[in-house]
């Protein structure tokens, strides 16, 4: 009971920290890009009102103001909605991080119990049977959760990969000011940080599963029995990992695979858009 309360408090603390960090990251990125666009409009227009009109009508919401008559109040309302949508976009990444962390914390409880049992060289088959059944129940929860959120995982990684490619491609164009360079490096750095966080925290379940497998392989021969054998088979035949509809698995190695994919796709994009890079500034 005390362990459950402690785990709940730990998860709550982790959840708060993750939400704060990622939300601040997105706020900084959103402020950087819109600050650059607004400054550019102010520099090119004679008055502030005309600058705001250009910012809203031409730079951000051209499709909206083709259907709706422009006013400063309408522009501010749509800017507020856009800000809300920016934070909603983060929800998928935050959710994956929290799910991976929560499942890892629960699995870690079993890992600690196994380490304690192995250290004491427990031979009682009933003790091993109880731990094994707890593991099987948690395994069912992990597989069920993965089925529910696998589509969200695909959407999250697809959108992050798209924006990474877009940012990398945009960086190849000439940058006219220091503010443009500042925005690019801040935006790209924060986007990379978010992708790495999703990979690391999302893969924590798989890492903990590997820890359990390692602990079971280190059981002393004097404590080995039929329940330990069944436990080893249960663990080795059913991998615990979050996936994107089984197209890919969220493991630590996924970070390197994403890096390789970005380089490959970026070269293809550059090859087919050489004229765009030469003619249009960033």
What does the pLDDT read at residue 52?
Answer: 80
pLDDT at 2: 43
Contact 92, 194 (CB under 8 A): no
Compute how many other C-beta atoms are within 10 angstroms of the C-beta atom of residue 237.
7
- More confidently predicted of 93 and 61: 93
Q: Which of 2-11, 25-34, 211-220 has the lowest mean pLDDT?
A: 2-11
Q: Supply the pLDDT for residue 229.
A: 92
Q: What is the pLDDT of residue 205?
A: 93
Residue 79 near residue 62 (C-beta atoms within 8 A): no
Q: How many CB atoms are located within 10 Å of the residue 197 CB?
A: 18
pLDDT given for residue 121 in this prediction: 87
Q: Which two tokens stand for residue 213?
A: 């497998």
Please tell me the predicted confidence (pLDDT) of residue 63.
75
For residue 281, the model assigns a pLDDT of 53
pTM, entire model: 0.77
| Residue 275 pLDDT level (bands cut at 50, 70, 90) | low
Residue range 57-88, pLDDT digits in tens: 777 777 777 788 888 788 888 888 877 777 77
The pLDDT of 86-99, averaged and rounded, is 82
Averaged pLDDT for residues 210-231:
90
Q: Out of 13-27, 182-196, 197-211, which region has the weakest mean confidence (pLDDT)? A: 13-27
């Amino acid at each position: 009971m005390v362990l459950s309360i402690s785990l709940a408090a730990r998860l709550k603390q982790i959840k708060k920290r993750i939400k704060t960090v990622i939300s601040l990251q997105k706020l900084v990125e959103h402020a950087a890009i819109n600050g650059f666009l607004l400054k550019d409009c102010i520099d090119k227009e004679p008055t502030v009102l005309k600058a705001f009109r250009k910012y809203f009508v031409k730079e951000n919401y051209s499709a909206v103001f083709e259907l709706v008559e422009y006013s400063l109040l309408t522009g501010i309302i749509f800017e507020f909605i856009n800000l809300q949508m920016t934070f909603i976009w983060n929800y998928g990444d935050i959710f994956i991080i929290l799910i991976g962390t929560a499942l890892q914390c629960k699995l870690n409880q079993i890992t600690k119990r196994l380490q304690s049992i192995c250290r004491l060289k427990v031979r009682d088959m009933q003790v091993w049977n109880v731990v094994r059944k707890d593991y099987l129940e948690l395994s069912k929860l992990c597989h069920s959760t993965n089925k529910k959120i696998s589509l969200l995982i695909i959407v999250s990684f697809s959108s992050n990969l798209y924006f990474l490619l877009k940012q990398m491609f945009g960086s190849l164009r000439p940058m006219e000011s220091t503010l443009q360079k500042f925005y690019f490096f801040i935006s790209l750095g924060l986007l990379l940080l978010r992708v790495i966080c999703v990979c690391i925290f999302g893969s924590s379940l798989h890492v903990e599963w590997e820890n359990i497998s390692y602990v079971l392989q280190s059981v002393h021969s004097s404590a080995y029995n039929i329940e330990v054998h069944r436990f080893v088979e249960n663990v080795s035949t059913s991998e615990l990992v979050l996936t994107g509809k089984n197209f890919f698995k969220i493991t630590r190695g996924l970070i390197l695979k994403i890096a390789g994919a970005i380089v490959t796709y970026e070269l293809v994009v550059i090859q087919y858009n050489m004229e765009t890079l030469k003619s249009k500034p960033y």
